[in-house]
Structures are given as C-alpha cells and as structure tokens.
Structure 1
Amino acid sequence: MSSDTATPTFPTLEDWQHWTLVMGRAQQMLMETWAESLKAGEPVPGVKPAAIQADPMAFLTAGAEAWSKGLQAWGQLLEQTQAAAEKKDKRFAAPEWHDNPVFDTIRQSYLAISDQLLKGVETVEGLDEAAHQRLRFATKAFVDAMSPSNFALTNPQVLKKTLDTRGDNLLAGLRHMLDDIRAGQLTQTAKGAFEVGRNLATTPGKVIKETPLYQLIQYTPVTDKVLTTPLIIFPPWINRFYILDLTPEKSFVRWCVEQGISLFMVSWKSADESLKDTGLDDYVLRGQIDAIDTVRDLLGVESAHVIGYCVAGTTLAATLAYLAAKGEAAKVKSATFFTAQVDFAHAGDLKLFLGDETMALLDQLTADSGTLDGRYMAATFNLLRGRDLIWNYVVNNYMLGEEPAPFDLLHWNSDVTNLPAGWHRNYLETLYEGNKLAECGGISVAGTPIDLTQVETPCFIQAGREDHIAPPESVWKIMDHFRGPKRFVLAGSGHIAGVVNPPSAGKYQYWVNEGEVASLDEFVEGATEHKGSWWPDWLSWLRSQDPSEVPATGARQPGGGKLKAIEDAPGRYVRTR
C-alpha cells in the first residue's frame, strides 16, 4: 500500500469479545421474551395460538420469506434503472445521503424507481376505479416499505451509530421492539412524558352524569357571562375526547370556555363486554339525544349547540334526521361537523379495508369478547400514513435505538379505545360500504326511517384540505343532503391538525366562499384564503345563531344545579383501557 493510504485496522481480541457479548445479549433478550410468551400461552410473542397456522414452521418462515422476496424484488428494480430523482424527503435528510457517493446513488435510484412504480400504476388498463385505488395504495405501501432508509445496511445513519456505540444502539432497538411486541403496539412518543389529568385534559370541570355508555363533563366558566345556548361536543367513540383538550395552549375546550361558552363534553366509555351489543340506536338515543336532553333540562333552555367530530358527526347526522322525523328538531339550535362524513361515495383509502378478508378477520378477533381491541384500529390508521407513523419509528426506535420524542398528539394517537364489535362491523358495512345513510330511508333509528334531506338545522361544516381519513370532497357531500343554512370552511392540513389549530399558533390557513356554489371545485375556485386558525370564524358563526348571554352562576357552574358533581374532569372513563 502507498504511504498516503491508511492501513486497515483489524479487529482486536477485545473487539471480538465485545461483539460476541452484543450478539449474546441479543440472543438472551429474544429467549427471555420467548419464555415469557410461552408462560402466557402465546407460542409467538403477542400472538394468540388461534392466529397461528396449523403448520407452525410455515408460520415461523412466512415473515422471513416475505422479507427475502421483498429484498429480491428491490434488487431487481435497482438493476433496471440508473435514473436520478431529486426530492425533499426527511428520510434522506442526513448529509451522508448526499455527500457519500454510494449512499447518494442508492437514494437517487430509489427515488427514481419509486416514481416509476407509482406512475406505472396509472397506466395499468382493465381496472375499475376501486381496483385502481387498491393498486395505488398497495404500490405506495410497497415503495415506502422498501426505502433503503428502512434497512440497517443501506442506512448510513444506522451504520455510523452502530460503529460509534459499538452495537449498543442495536441492543437498545431490540429492547424497544420486544417491549412493543409485548404491548402489541408501536411506541410513537416518549413513555411517561404525558398523563391525562396532569398535563393533558386539564381544563377545569366536573363529571356531572355517568351512564353505562358515557360520562358528561361540564366545564367551569372563566367569564362572568356565558352564551345562553350551551354547547355539547360529541367526540368520536373510536378515540379519546381529549384530542380537543390537549396541552392548554392547544386546547379547543379551554379556548371555548375562555370565549364565554357554556361547554359540555361527552366522554365515551371504552367498550367492554357490557357494551358488546351496543349499536346505532344506543349512540343516537342513549348517547347524543340523552346528553342533549340532560343539558337542556339542567340549564332550563330549549335547545343546545352540538359538535360532532369524525364518526360522531356521522351519528349526529342520523340524530338530527331522527329529531326532524319526530318533530323535535328545535332541541338543537345549531350543529357543527368536524371532518365528518354522511355520504361515503368518496370516502378515501379507508374503504380499502372493507373486503371479505377484513370482515372475516374482525369476526376472528372479536369472537370471544364481542369487542374490538382498539390497537387494531390504531394499526389501520397508521397504515394509511405508513411512512410517517410506522417506518419512521422502526428506524428511530429499533435501528438507531433512540427513544421517540415527546409529542402530545402521538400520545393521544396511541391511547386507544375498544369498540363494540357488532356496531363497528355494521358501521363499516352499512355506512362505509353500503352508503345507506345517504339513502332516504336507507337506515332506521328505533324503527324510524332516516332522511337527511329533512334536516333544516343550521350547520357549520369543516373539512381538512389534506385529510386522508375524511377527504374534503367526501365531507362536502353534507352540503348536498341537508336543507337548512350551511357554512362550509376548508381548513389547511389534515384530519387532526386541521381541527386542532388554535389562533395563538399562527399556523396554516382556511378558505371560505360567501357565494352560492354547487360543488367543492366551485367553492375552491372562488374561495378567499385567510391566514391562521378558522376557530374565530366558527365562533362568529356560532354567536350569530344566538348572541344572548346569561350570568355564569347557579347551574352554569359544574355541580351548581340539580346534577351534582361526581368527580373532577377529565373523569375515569377516559382513563379506562
């Protein structure tokens, strides 16, 4: 070798001893986890015996075969192209991806192949739109999974970290992975950083009613006077309500109270066997209408404002139609819909999970308890954004061995609730797949046929421009069904950030169109953009429905009326897994 060429350094005896220790410790961790699973009656950690095929060897080798085939396919694709593509992508933010010729070639090749594959989907002939949508989703999932950043040997950050820590990152990552397998859930935020009632869901209030289905929270006023007409929020029963009451600076609940609104929140109970037979009638009659009647009676008012978020908004539409059919529409002064769908003709990627295989899996998962473990729903939503909500954490937690950063939104995202299995399946088959709510008389509540065109309640409808769960074109369909006065607002960002966007943050934007428009395209074409949060626009609209105020005394204080305080907000239902 020439004098200016560095002589390669060979591993010393100490190096060999160290890496032998690393591999031995890894093997020990795996064996300990396996032993614990055997004691729990689970031959495979986190997997119940019923889920394993009759041939155990086939089960054990299935993952390895899939991995091998994926790598083989990836290698073949690399050989087919040398095209380069430049994209801004946080997966390749590390300088090594650009500065090192080897990794720069890998990155550019991958991006070029990704483009080629995704564009190729659009050229496939002989498929209907539903099949095309499934192919797009599957191709994107494959492309994201096969990113070179997801593999230790083709990720320069992982290689560097492994050398710098002498393999400690891999042991830490293995420990994280085994912990997640035990928990049956991917860790997305720092453990212990957040706690409901300590630094989340801290807006002062009291639980003033408890039923087998929900707790009703009344929040403590902070203004001398409050709006005469109270507001009741119905969050989705598939999530915890405190998405609207995160840290104080992000809390929609706290902000509403500060604006002088008499505010009530429904906190749904996470389903157990006592709720396994719960269905649409229960959520409409013994949930939403019961809460509305409770608040009306408590405060001595004729009507209440209501908000329905996501699936609770879908149910709220059925509630409004039921009240209209019964001649009781006056119980609701106005209705606000956050990213809610009533017509599922354009429902987005979630419709990809409605096939016979999905329904059969649901039956298998819920056969014993009659409830669906919320972790399966969380996994489904993570799949919709696999690059950000799955692979990002595989690299950070398992390969780099890092702890995820504290993030209140992702703590909420991981705080799952269980669902009544029968109602969940009915919701998917009847509403998502069958689109029966959009049909006149397509569904009934307590024997009363539902007709959305009979709803004349003033409505505020919010959609997120980048919403992948409730696409704006799907949310817009509410405008086509309800007959009453409606205001549509298109917010920047998606299903969560588009809703949880306090004015103090100064983020994103929203669009309104004061003209008469017949479609979302027409709305967008003539819309006016406003910077920041849409919350003040909604508040102005809400006050226009009834601007009158009353002193914040007596029953306007939690426990000050005929319903006495049961416990402090946020209550025990939101803490029950």
Structure 2
Amino acid sequence: MDKGSDALGRTLNAARAQLTAGLSPVALALAWSDWAIHLAAQPVRSAQAWTVHPLLLAMDMASHGPQPLPVHTASTLGPRERDRRLAGPQWDEWPFNLYRQAFHVRGRWLHELTRNVPGVDRHHAQIVAFAAQQLQDMFSPANWPATNPLVLQRTAATCGLNLLQGACNWAEDLRRALLHQPPKGAEAFVPGHDVAVTSGKVVFRNDLIELIQYAPTTPTVHAEPVLVMSAWIMKYYILDLSPRNSLIRYLVDSGFTVFAISWKNPSDKDCDLGVNDYLALGLMASLDAINATVPGQRVHALGYCLGGTLMAIGAAAMARDQDDRLATLTLLAAQTDFTEPGELSLFIDESQLAFLEDLMARQGYLDAGQMAGAFQLLRPIDLIWSPMVQKYVLGERTPMTDLMAWNADGTRMPQRMHAEYLRNLFLDNALARGRYTVNGDPVSLGDIDVPIFAVGTRTDHVAPWRSVYKLNLLCDTDISFVLTDGGHNGGILSQPGNASRHYQILHRATNDAYVPPNTYTARAEQVDGSWWPALQSWLAAHSGSRREPPHMGARQLGLAPVCDAPGTYVMAR
C-alpha cells in the first residue's frame, strides 16, 4: 500500500476518533460479533437468554410485587447493579420501588445474557459485559427526571426553578468546554497561590522537566534526599495539593530534603519523545542534579502511578548498569505487571491501539480530555451520571475542591511515549516478562536490590491493588507492602488526623517466601490512621545521621535556583 493511502486511512481514523472519544468502533464491533455469533450457535442458551430467562425474571418480579428485591437476590448484585443512589427511603414508595425493581431485573438479565457464552474470546466477553453494564447504568431510574423521586420533589418545591438553574449550568459548562476553559470554580485553585504552595525553588530545568527543591522546615535533615516523580499524564502537585493534604510538605516537615519532578506539558513538537527520553531527561537528569546538590548521598526514589512504573524501570536499568545511587524505592499505586490491570485493559487491544496511534499521529499527542473519557467510563455512576443529575436536573453544583481542580488540570501525552507505554507495558507486559529494553538492553525487576515500600489502595480502578501486589512475584528484595483504604487518588492523599483511615502492612525480607494476596490480607498487621507515618518511619530507618540542610541548588556547578516553586511548566495548559 502506498504512503498516500496509508495517510488517508490514518486521517479518517483520526476524524472518527474525535467523534468516539478515542474508542475504536472496530474493537467494539469485533467483540459484539464474536459474542453474538457464539450466542446464536447455542440455540438452547440463546432461547433461554432472549425468551425464557426474561420471562422467569418477570414472573419473579411479579411474585414479589412492587417491593425491593429479596435480600438473597440483592446480595448477588454488584455495586454498580445495585446503584446506591436507589437506596434512599423515597425509593421504597410506589411507583419508584417498581422502577428500582425493574432496573435490578434488567441488570440480572443483562448479566446472564453476556456471561459465560462458550467460545467467546475472554477479552471480547469482557468488552461486551462492560458495554452492557454501561447501558444498564445509563438507564438507571435515578438518571431520569420522571422516574427520580428526589428530582420530582425538588421540581415541585421550587416550581421548576431547579430545571432552569440546571439549564444555566449546562450552558455555562458547554461554553467553557468550547473555549477549552477549566470547569467553574477551578479558578480558585491556582498553582503557587492556592495549591502547590510548599516553599521551594526550581533548581534545574531542561526540555522535559523542572526539578523543584523544597526549602527545609527543620534545623537538621536526614542525609539522604527524596526524589518524587508523579505520572507524566498528570500535574505533579497531586502530591502537593493544599497544605493539609500535601505528602511533599509532610516529608519536608519530617526532616527530609525533598525534590520533585514537574513534567513539561508536551505539544505536537514533542511527539517523538519516548520512554528512554523520559528516563534520561527525567529520572537520570534529576539524579545528576541532586547528586550535585547533595554530593555523596544516595537518593530515596518515590514514584506515583505511571511515575512509579517509570521509576521501577529506571531502578532496574540502574541495577543492570551497577549504578548504586538509589537508597530505596517507594512505589505508590504503581503497576509493574500488567496481566490484571483492571477494567482499563478493556481499552487496550491491537484494534484500539491502532486507532489511538492514528489519532496521535495526526495530533502528535493524546489530549488529557481524550484520556479522561476512558477513566470516566470505569466509574460512570460516580463520574458521569450522578454529576449530570446533580448539576443539570437538580440545579446544584458540587463545590470545587483542590482534588477536583487538579483532576481538571491534565497534561498531554507525546505520541511515541504513549504508544510505547500502551503497547510494551499494557499489551505485551514486556517489563514483567523480562523483555523490556532500556537503551537497547533488557532490564529485569529481579535485579533491584534496594528496599522497596509499595502501596496499593483497596478501591483503585486505575491500578488495582492485586495488580500492584504482583511486584512481590518479580522482586526478591526487601519489600514492605501497604494496603490502604480509598481509591487511586484518595487512598494516596491519606494525611494524618483522619480517624476513618485504616491500612494493613506486611514486611517481606529479602528471599522470603512469596505471600499470596489472600494470605496477605489475613496476615498483614491492621493499623488505624494514615499510612504516611509508616512511610516516614521506613524512610528514616533507611537513612543516615541528620545534618544541616543543603543549599538550594548546586551554585558551584551552575545549578543556581531558576525561579520559585512551583515553576513554569506546571502552569502550561
């Protein structure tokens, strides 16, 4: 095929991707056809699915009357099938209890219809079941004004003013979306003024990062500094939000010299930046600058999310090259084995990747908004339908928070970097299989010999904790694994003082026997409160004697402070 035809195909796919939020219609069609053909090839199963089973469910519904589902039935439904919005007392009244019961019955029917069809590819079966669940969530009676008692009550009480206010909210959000402006209320959380306010200086800058060194708040500090690396798909200040929930400030106040990488928000000119570039210009350049600022000391490396994955790759490469500049490795909600990455794997297959690669080839990057759509589909009730009903039907806006404003302040991902990440890590799982190469040579996580502190969060839909836990299968070094309450962001932002927080921790010494996840949850110590003090104690135990804080930047080597934190890269949109 000639290059012109290939370019035309890429252009058409990129145009389609703009209409489908980056989801490949071919991937969906392949999954649906696989399921439909195999279901049709099972005449008995097909008949039961389309006729007998719905009839039996309808009879079950009729036999119980307009009442909530029996306890034994409701207990078998998943959290999203139950839709906790339907649990209020208003839903116990007729006809809303009938709507709720019909919703549950339809959910059970869809579940039976899409599961365990013989011959269907596992990945295709998961996509079909996921799509069916999306439809189920969409048609929840809580989403529609005529079937939601709370909406009807509010409309009656306000004489319809809630609907007018909802229309105004919708118009305002549409205007902001068309103008590429942040959501309403986000202007109250400006980096450097309202968030990311921990005092510090940018002490190094290159074409990809700004390295921030934070000012000490204690008369002496631990000898070994801490390097914090967040994911390149997010602004770094997730770990330095408000002073009350800043992990960076907590470590500074605990007597650590903390450095943080602030990634550049790439443009189409950065489309050829790949993983090796992020390692060289990010991790290795930062270590060089830190070694110049704090000479003779090894570094505590801390990575969050994809930043943790990149940090693990870098640590393995350094171990291979006998580079001993790391003292410890801390991984927060970071996957290194992608065999069970959760529902995100639904969006990763050859068809989907080819579709995304065509989109990125046209743009030079993947926009944060295009990535956000996939994350929203993982929790549609919480991230799509509930906010829509709240804002556009009830006419109420949820007050903006620092975490919500940060979440709306996303970054783009260079074409090459994102394609390498998705294909090599997610699709091929090359890192766990020992086939991932850095600068042409493979790296092995088994080579890492520094102590590791790893954190997983119980309800993480981005990096499920059992997937994060697989690090124990790949490394024989000293590992302390923490399992904490909360999700991907909320579980990490677990500042001390919250009485509702709990976590488990288990230490596995070098070369100790592997502990399976179920055994871990039964054996690990239960602790009330935040896990942050456990990290602080662990880092202190692996640090040398305290000394006077280092200077801000290595002036003698030309690394004088460039500007005040949070720097300039974090401000780019």
Which band: TM-score by shorter chain?
A: 0.7 to 0.9
Determine the C-alpha separation between the residues in 1 that align with 2:295 and 2:19.
58
The one of 550, 554, 564 equivalent to 1:568 is 564
The answer to whether the aligner puts 1:108 opposite 2:101 as a matched pair is yes
Distance 2:194 2:377 in 1: 29
User: 1:123 offset after TM fit, Å?
Assistant: 4.7
CA contact (8 A) 1:299 1:556 kept: no
1:306-363 deviations in whole A, cap 9, x for unaligned? 11111111111211121122121x1111110001111111111111001344334423
- More displaced, 83-92 or 104-113? 83-92
| Counterparts of 2:168 and 2:360, CA distance in 1 | 30
Given the alignment of the two structures, is residue 255 of structure 1 paired with residue 265 of structure 2, yes or no? Answer: no
* Preserved CA contact (<8 Å) 2:209 2:281: no
The answer to whether the 8 Å contact 2:17/2:359 transfers is no
Q: How does 1:310-349 map to 2 (within 5 A)?
A: 310-328=305-323, 330-349=324-343
Q: Are residue 358 (structure 1) and residue 355 (structure 2) matched?
A: no
Tell me how far apart the structure 2 counterparts of residues 52 and 93 of structure 1 sit (CA, whole Å). Answer: 35
Question: Residues 145 and 311 of structure 1: is their aligned pair in 2 closer, same or farther, counting only changes over 3 Å?
Answer: same
Q: CA deviation at 1:364?
A: 4.3
Say if 2:208 and 2:282, in contact at 8 Å, map to a contact too. yes
1:424 corresponds to 2:421: no
Deviations 1:228-252 (A, max 9, x none): 1000000001111111111111111
Alpha-carbon distance, 1:112 to partner: 4.1
Corresponding position of 1:306: 301
TM-aligned CA deviation for residue 529 of structure 1: 0.9
Among 519, 539, 542, the alignment partner of 1:542 is 539
Offset at residue 115 of structure 1 (A): 4.2
- Residues 104, 333 of structure 1: alpha-carbon distance in 2 compared, 3 angstrom cutoff: same
Distance 1:117 1:187, change over 3 A: farther
Question: What amino acid does structure 2 have at the position aligned with 1:537?
Answer: A
Q: Which residue of 2 aligns with 1:502?
A: 495
Q: Which one of the candidate residues 184, 189, 194 is aligned to 1:194?
A: 189
- The 8 Å contact of residues 269 and 364 in structure 2, kept in 1 or not, is answered as no
**Structure 1 position 279, deviation (Å):** 0.3
CA distance in 1, matches of 2:114, 2:296: 57
Quick one: distance in 2 between partners of 1:217 and 1:150? 45
RMSD over aligned Cα atoms: 2.8
Amino acid at match of 1:547: G
CA displacement at 1:90 relative to structure 2? 4.4
Report the counterpart of residue 267 of structure 2 in structure 1. Answer: 272
Partner of 1:512: 505
Would the alpha carbon gap of residues 291 and 310 (structure 1) be closer, same or farther in structure 2, given more than 3 Å must change? same
| 1:192 Cα deviation from its structure 2 partner | 3.3
Secondary structure of the structure 1 residue equivalent to 2:221: strand
Give the structure 2 partner of residue 403 of structure 1. Answer: 397
Say yes or no: does 1:438 pair with 2:432: yes
Q: 1:464–1:490: 8 Å Cα contact kept in structure 2?
A: yes
Q: Which ranges in structure 2 are unaligned for 5 or more consecutive residues?
A: 1-13, 21-49, 75-81
5 Å matches for 1:26-175? 51=18, 81-82=61-62, 84-85=68-69, 90-92=84-86, 95-98=89-92, 100-118=93-111, 121-175=114-168
- Report the Cα distance in structure 2 between the residues aligned to 1:244 and 1:317, rounded to whole angstroms: 19
Give 3-state SS (helix, strand or coil) of 1:490's partner: strand
| Deviates further, 349-358 or 178-187 | 178-187
Contact 2:333–2:463 (CA under 8 A) maintained in structure 1: yes
1:490-515 C-alpha deviation (Å, 9 max, x unpaired):
11222112111011223321112346
- Cross-structure match for 2:38: none
1:522 aligns with 2:515: no
Letter in 1 for 2:240: D
In structure 2, relative to structure 1, the CA distance for the partners of 1:357 and 1:567 (3 Å cut) is: same
Matched, 1:455 2:452: no
Deviations along 1:371-402, whole A, 9 cap, x unmatched?
11111111111111111011111101121222
Q: Flag the 1:51–1:308 CA change in 2: closer, same or farther, 3 A.
A: closer
Output aligned runs, 1:171-186, within 5 Å: 171-182=164-175, 183=177
| Alignment CA distance shift 1:50-1:346 (3 Å) | closer
User: CA, structure 1 residues 106+480, in 2 after alignment: closer, same or farther (shift >3 Å)?
Assistant: same
**Counterpart in the other structure of 2:234:** 239
C-alpha distance in 2 between matches for 1:89 and 1:363: 36
Range that drifts further, 473-482 or 171-180: 171-180
Against the structure 1 CA distance between its residues 119 and 243, is the aligned structure 2 distance closer, same or farther, given a 3 Å change threshold?
farther
In the alignment, structure 1 segments of 5+ residues that lack a partner are: 1-46, 54-72
Structure 2 contact 553–559 (Cα < 8 Å) conserved: no
Contact 1:180–1:187 at 8 Å: present in 2 too?
A: no
Conserved in 2, the CA contact under 8 Å of 1:187 and 1:404? no
Counterpart AA for 2:190: E
Give the aligned residue type for 1:476. Y
- CA separation of 1:375/1:558 partners in 2, compared to 1, >3 Å: closer, same or farther? farther
* Secondary structure of the corresponding residue to residue 256 of structure 2: coil
Structure 1 Cα separation of the partners of residues 338 and 399 of structure 2: 36
1:408 is displaced (CA, Å) by 1.9
Q: Name the SS for the 2:95 alignment partner.
A: helix
Asked if the contact 1:206–1:558 (Cα under 8 Å) also holds between the matched residues in 2, the reply is: no
Q: Identity percentage over the alignment? A: 34
Give the secondary structure class of the aligned counterpart of 1:404. Answer: coil
- Corresponding residue to 1:479 among 472, 479, 489: 472
Give, in whole Å, the separation in 2 of the partners of 1:287 and 1:51: 31
1:163-210 Cα offsets, whole Å, 9 max, x none, are 444444333323333443441689877443422222211111111111
C-alpha distance 517-410 of structure 1, shift in aligned 2 (>3 A): farther
Cα distance in 2 for residues equivalent to 1:49 and 1:288: 36
In structure 2, the CA distance between the partners of 1:233 and 1:355, relative to structure 1 (3 Å rule), is same
Tell me how far apart the structure 2 counterparts of residues 323 and 429 of structure 1 sit (CA, whole Å).
Answer: 23
Q: Is the Cα–Cα contact under 8 Å of residues 552 and 561 in structure 2 kept in the other structure?
A: no
* Partner amino acid, structure 2, of 1:567: C
Q: Which amino acid in the other structure matches residue 304 of structure 1?
A: V
Q: 1:95-145: per-residue Cα shift (whole Å, max 9, x none)?
A: 4323x3112221233234334533664454433543343233223222211
The whole-number CA distance in structure 2 between the counterparts of 1:430 and 1:49 is 25
Letter in 1 for 2:147: T
Residue 558 to residue 196, structure 1, CA distance change in 2 (3 Å) = farther
Tell whether 2:245 aligns with 1:230.
no
Pair 1:378-2:372 in alignment: yes
Aligned pair in 2 of structure 1 residues 510, 201: CA closer, same or farther (>3 Å)? same
Secondary structure in 2 aligned to 1:306?
strand
